[in-house]
A and B are shown apart, each in its own frame.
Chain A
Amino acid sequence: MPENKTMTIASGRRMRNLLTNPKYLMVYATIGIFLLIYLFGALLYGGRGFTSVRTFMLFFSDNAYIGISAVGMTLVLITGGIDLSVAAVASLTGMIIAYGTTVLGIHPLVCIGAALLVGVGLGALMGACIQYLNVPPFITTLTGMFFARGVCSLISRESISIKHPLIDALAGFKIYLTWPNAQGEWVKIKPVASIDLNTIAFILMIVIGTIILQKTRFGRNVYAIGGNEQSATLMGLPVSRTKVLVYAFNGLCSVLAGISYVLYVKSGWNLSLQGAELDVISACVIGGVMLSGGVGYMFGTLFGVLLKATIPAIITFNGSMNSWWAKIFTSVLLLLFIIIQRAVIASSQWVKKKE
């Protein structure tokens, strides 16, 4: 059947393209290095449960707040911007929920609503400053960060624990992973592994982020702006609206990350998540998102977060190493990825010259 044949050729070409297209190189590098490091951990500590499903699931649930925030950050970085306020806004979310619920006795859902308003509003405001007042994103979001931290401390300077049935229920929500035993009954796998709400939220956000970036005009405009903002304007794309929306969306992600963190620690503290914005940004960069804008994939960011989660896990499994080694390894990794990025850019320019 000739039709069938052309289809095979087309899909074959698509396969080849998927493998050789330079735009995916960074993501491959991230996945490759993740697999390498995972394999390394498996070889060393496989016997002690490093390769168990439980450990793997913990990569997700322990890092969900970083991952959720990284989804929004990926969009911001692809436009060529940056957002330093994410951790402070997440922390502020925690404070609003903790203070509102514990001290004022307001229902947590109302507090979450308030936090969403504040987070998205601040994001949109910062986006507007960046777009319409031409203030560099770094400065704008640094200001936003100080503001959010300030408000945190204004609310309270002490850690407030949260005790509310709804929060407890959400934090305690778990789907245990099961498998059929010899008798054909579904039993919990050993060691016990579960999917909690944070994991679900993290994966859901990655999926939503992927759909936004790959399947919507808004997402493609984000890439176009990062590629060349002036061209994007001349091509008639809604640059201003897109940029403001990106920062607003990132504000939303920050609040969601804050909620995720609340479920993780069940308290609010004005100094929580200090410096976590840099963890988020570095996870994106390790995932192949370029700080210069225009390049990055949600899938890469997912692996960036996982890669960043694997290193401390290995250190923990080792048991004898100081946990600060995790930072050192992460920094080495970050450096490695920046070098790979430069190499990818250089090689694509080389290809261009050759033609």
Chain B
Amino acid sequence: MQDIILEMKDIEKTFPGVKALDRVNFTLRSGQIHALLGENGAGKSTLIKVLTGVHRMDAGTILFEGKSIRPTSPMDAQRQGISTVYQEVNLCPNLTVAENIFIGRQPMRRGQIDWKTINRRAHELMLRMGMDIDVTLPLATYPIAIQQMASIARAVDINARILILDEPTSSLDENEVRNLFSVMRELKNQGMGIIFITHFLDQVYAVSDQLTVLRNGRLVGEYTAQEIGKLELVTAMIGKDINEIYNLQKAQPGEDAKAVLDAQNIGIPGKVENISLQVKEGELVGFAGLLGSGRTETAEMLFGVTHAAQGSISMHGEVLALKTPLDAIRKKMAFCPEDRKRDGIIADLSVRENIALAVQATRGFLHPLPQKEQQELADKYIQLLSIATPDADKKVGELSGGNQQKVILARWMATNPDLMILDEPTRGIDVGAKAEIQRLMLEMCHEGRSVIFISSEIDEIIRCSNRIIVMRDLAKAAEMDGSACTQADILAIIANEGTKEEAV
């Protein structure tokens, strides 16, 4: 058995109205990757924030390498050897990659920052993570995966004993995840203790040694990765049988259902080209494909975010000239964008205001929605979607990821759309909330609305879709029947192994 480097005992933390942590224990050994699991609101984040000094615990002890510590700030925790890499890349986009790794503890030479050493060492560090890049370019010039690696490089170079990875994989593609895992394994072999938080259960099994499950602020149990199966694990996390929540009924559009949306050969030269698709009333069409395969670009064209230079889009048989999203909203379309933090929610507005936003937009600013109607609207959807918020006036930014997603969903459902486009609505949210979002989508279909569902997770696409469009290299690669295809079929097309071009 390796040495215990961290022992958190009987940690308690209460926020106004909520007991966030209730006598939670957590033990980490050196050379161990320890997954911390639980639904949103289970207390994972709070536990990590207590450990990193963002929050002060109300009771309990933290033993770090045998000594009792009480970190007072992330800086303090970092100094003691506890580093955190957050889900969102918390680096500065305007600084170079190298500087992001070293800022705050730059090597100095004769009283001045030693840029040469910084750039050289940063390049070495990135190289060790399998990234041969120019570290003197601003961070913003690189994709998220590289930014993430830079933040890990930063965390690791502090000579951390404990590395906390909070949802590091939610915006990475498969290759990038594999790369991250090999970095994690190498760090583990060097004797670091890694706390890994993720919603992807496959990843938990791929890389973790030990699992700790929290639920409602309480410790459910600690397991080794070998001793607990996936189903058991999910049951432990949500406290319910998995089959209960995944008991989903696919939409069943009638044989003669009319086409709601009909896009013919739409495209923007150089971005996506020649995409045709039809969505029928009450149908759920899934968009599979890798990040950057043209899924989002297609959705944005359909919604008028970008202007389709070629082809035609018609809805209910009427050809549309979409110039702005507002045109699309008026034609009863709705769109939940991919990056909810950036394009979706307005974090500083309340739940009520966020929900009323799209309805307000269709009315125009001269016809403000009365406060009372806003309130009714918000209350209705908070209840309907079971959004976990104390009241409608809470700022959306303070809700958990899954609940933020539901607020966006509510915003668009409130406009009563005929066609709803959801781009990665389930990314970064937990199993329970995922299933709920999927259930809501299917309920919309049962009501006769149509849904376009974009996701990187093929199993959920298969679980929900009537038809599946597979995108590859900025073009439509295939269209498949949702009830008669398997994950392997789709993967083959994404990987360009199959030869069927337009299999129906």
Contacts and interface: CB of A to CB of B under 8 A. Distances in A.
B93 A234 contact: no
B154 to A, nearest CB: 7
A29 B69 CA distance: 52
A224 B113 contact: no
B26 interface: no
B104 interface: yes
Given A17-B134, A351-B141, A352-B140, A237 B95 contact: no
A interface, how many residues as a size bin?
20 to 34
A21 B154 CA distance: 23
Nearest to B112: A215
Interface string A7-35: 00000000001000111000000000000
B134 A227 contact: no
Given A214-B113, A355-B141, A237 B103 contact: yes
Given A17-B136, A223-B94, A234-B86, A352 B141 contact: yes
Interface in B351-366: none
Interface string B368-382: 000000000000000
Contacts of B92: 223-224, 227-228, 231-232, 235, 294
Nearest to A17: B136
A233 B143 CA distance: 23
Indicate the member of B74, B86, B90 with the most A CB atoms within 10 Å. B90
B142 A355 contact: yes
A352 B143 contact: yes
A235 B154 contact: yes
Contacts of A215: 111-113
A226 interface: yes
B106 interface: yes
Nearest to B106: A217
Contacts of A23: 94, 96, 138
B429 interface: no
Contacts of B95: 220, 223-224, 227
A220 B141 contact: no
B91 interface: yes
Nearest to B52: A234
A230 interface: yes
A174 to B, nearest CB: 33
A214 B112 CA distance: 9
B141 A224 contact: no
A240 to B, nearest CB: 11
A221 interface: yes
Contacts of A211: 112
A223 B138 CA distance: 12
Interface of B: 73-75, 78-79, 84, 86, 89-96, 99, 103-104, 106, 111-113, 134, 136-138, 140-143, 154
For the complex of A and B, the 10 pairs showing the least CB-CB separation, nearest first, are A227-B92, A236-B75, A294-B94, A227-B94, A215-B112, A231-B90, A234-B90, A224-B92, A236-B78, A228-B92
